[in-house]
Each structure stands twice: as structure tokens, then as C-alpha cells.
Amino acid sequence: MVTGAGTGFGAALAVRAAQEGAASVIVHYRSSAAGAEQTAQRVREAGAQAELVQGDITSWADIKRMANYAFGEAGGLDVLINNVGDMASGQASWTEVTEEAIDHVLSVDIKGTMLMVHEFGQRMVDAGGGAIVNVGSTVIVRGSPRAPQYAAGKYGLLGVTKSYAKALAPTVRVNTYAPGFMETEALLSGTPAGKIPKPEEMTGAALFLASDDAHHITGSYMIADGGYSMLGA
């Protein structure tokens, strides 16, 4: 299951999962119904079954409904990729921050992701295993003077990942994957890898964390941004 799979990186992840041999992919969306259907069609074209599920991850009731569906009618779940996040894209500067903007970003990025891990993770334990990948961000390395609440939300995501990696061990693995999407020439010049990949090119690393090859990796944070946010000693 990939959340926010109606558009962008979520759609690319869902299709790549099918291409890598997933028998079935649950395509989650909140409001992008048309996009989700397009993603589902691409998943089917890649050789997998596709199911659509709608829900708002800021609603615990919606999350419980989706989890019951995934582990009931849909027949179970091996992998959950929590791709949904709010980066306050409409905010140009920290000076524009509002209490409403803070509440919404933290509700999605921390509360929503935590409850997804909570509900789906315990069902994975009951079912005997699984892997959860939370999509993070390089803002935990660089900060976000544009939208501090976004950086705070992604820092909180690390706490969710580490806490549930321990709580659900050894049955379920939980990791964070942080792709670095950069779009300007200035950022390109500052990226040691010298390229800005398309979303489709970033899916493999995320799915690696969900695969059996990553069987001994849990509670970790993996960054993939071409060296832009190199960590010091």
C-alpha cells in the first residue's frame, strides 16, 4: 500500500512496486480520485492487481477503516509506504507562518503518519510480519527557514520511526527514506552528483527498505539526495 499514490512520488512508488513483482498494490488517495485511478491502471499494466482506497490520514477513524480493509477484504498487507506529507508548499517564508499552518502540517506529518504506523503496524505483527517505510525529507539535515513547521514535522517523523521500530520488533521493520527533490539550477550546482533525478528514479531505494534484502535494517534514516546534504563527522 502506498499513501498519496494519486500523484507524484506516490504514483511512481506504486507503479515501481508492481514492476518489481508486487502481486497487488493498494493505491491510497484523499482527493485525487482521477489520479488514483490512473495510477491503478498503470499498476495493472505492470502486471499487478490494484485496489483503490480513499481516506484522510489526519482522521484516526479513516485510518482504522483503511487498515481493516487492507487486512480484511484486500487479503493482507506486507508493505506500507507512508508517502503522504504536507510541506506547506504555499508558504514562501517563515514570516508567513500561522497557527493553522502549524497545526495542519504537524497533524499530517506527525499525527497522521504515527497513526498509520500504529494501526497498520500492529496488524502486521498479528499477521506475522511486514515492513513500513516512512517518506521523510532532507530538511531534518538542512532545516527549513521557509517553513519551520515542515522541518519540525519531519523531525517528529524520525521519533515515530525509531519508536515503532522498537515497539514492533522483530516482526515488523520501520524505516525512513528521504529523497532530495531539487528543482533549481542553483541547487543543481550544489549537488555533488550533478543531477536532479525524476521521481521515478528515486523509487528503487525506497522499495529496497521494504524488501527482504533490507531484512537487518530497522529504525534507520536513509537519505538519497546526491550528496547535497552531506553529514559532517
Share of the chain above pLDDT 90, in %: 77
| Domains of the chain with bracketed CATH | 55-224 (3.40.50.720)
188 confidence band (pLDDT: 50, 70, 90): low
Identify whether 177 is a catalytic site residue. Answer: no
* 116-145 tens-digit pLDDT: 999 999 999 999 999 999 999 988 888 899
Identity of residue 44:
R
Q: What is the mean pLDDT of residues 29-45?
A: 96
Contact call for residues 82 and 56 (beta carbons, < 8 A): no
Partner residues linked to 135 by β-bridges: 177
Strand, helix or coil for residue 133:
strand
Q: Which long-range contacts (CB under 8 A, 24 or more apart) does 73-78 make?
A: 74/24, 74/26, 75/24, 76/127, 77/1, 77/26, 77/120, 77/123, 77/124, 77/127, 77/130, 78/129, 78/130, 78/131
Does the pLDDT at position 200 exceed 90?
no
Strand, helix or coil for residue 135:
strand
Cis amide prior to 170 (ω within 30 degrees): yes
pTM exceeds 0.75: yes
Does the pLDDT at position 21 exceed 50?
yes
User: Of 29, 150, 164, 177, which is the active-site residue?
Assistant: 150
| CB contact set of 185 (below 8 Å; sequence gap of 6+) | none
